[in-house]
Chain A
Amino acid sequence: KAGVTQTPRYLIKTRGQQVTLSCSPISGHRSVSWYQQTPGQGLQFLFEYFSETQRNKGNFPGRFSGRQFSNSRSEMNVSTLELGDSALYLCASRAFRGSYGGTAYEQYFGPGTRLTVT
């Protein structure tokens, strides 16, 4: 089974621009979560989507937004980029329900998109 894929892998943008990152989950996984990883703040949760609805949101400004499509693929958008948005953005997918019918908690991560804002 193919893993989580993210595109693009690397991106360089200028302050004030906007950017869209894409994530394709593992086949059959219906939940997608996004994380920001920086040396100073570590791994921070951005948001989670399931069935095209945002289910959970972290403490990030409104410049950070996301969406999910009917095929479970997800995108996140950052508008009006700031230097501090430079980070590795990680997408993770989970099944939402395990094979036993209970909650599936484990998430599987993609390789990330390295965003550099200059």
Chain B
Amino acid sequence: GDSVTQMEGPVTLSEEAFLTINCTYTATGYPSLFWYVQYPGEGLQLLLKATKADDKGSNKGFEATYRKETTSFHLEKGSVQVSDSAVYFCACPNAGGTSYGKLTFGQGTILTVHP
């Protein structure tokens, strides 16, 4: 079945460091891919998305490119801030039942950024 694998966490960085969080997927067909972020005590926020192969999603300085050949969607940011400390989830919609309303998530990566 469809699955999403994220790099083992947690990740601890100093402010202004470069961030990469790896994500690979297996999916039936090539649907959209997403990164979500969860701040403490909150629900998930859609951070960015890519709707087809070779698309690059970007938002708030974060970027991820949908690589069909390596089935990857790695999240990157050139210079992290303390406010980026959160849990990051890679996600893929699944074909199942009669719709694509099921998101399969990676296990989540805890990011802590120190001043």
- Identify the A interface with B (CB < 8 A): 4, 6, 31, 33, 35, 42-43, 45, 48, 50, 54-58, 90, 92, 94, 96, 103, 105-112
Contacts and interface: CB of A to CB of B under 8 A. Distances in A.
A110 B38 CA distance: 11
A45 B43 contact: no
Chain B interface bracket (under 10, 10 to 19, 20 to 34, 35 or more): 20 to 34
Q: Report whether over half of chain A's contact residues are helix, strand or loop; otherwise say mixed.
A: strand
Interface stretch (B59-67, B68-76, B90-98): B90-98
A109 B108 contact: no
Contact of B99 (A31, A106, A108): A31
B32 interface: yes
B113 interface: no
Contact of A90 (B43, B100, B101, B104): B43
Interface string B6-44: 000000000000000000000000011010100000111
B114 interface: no
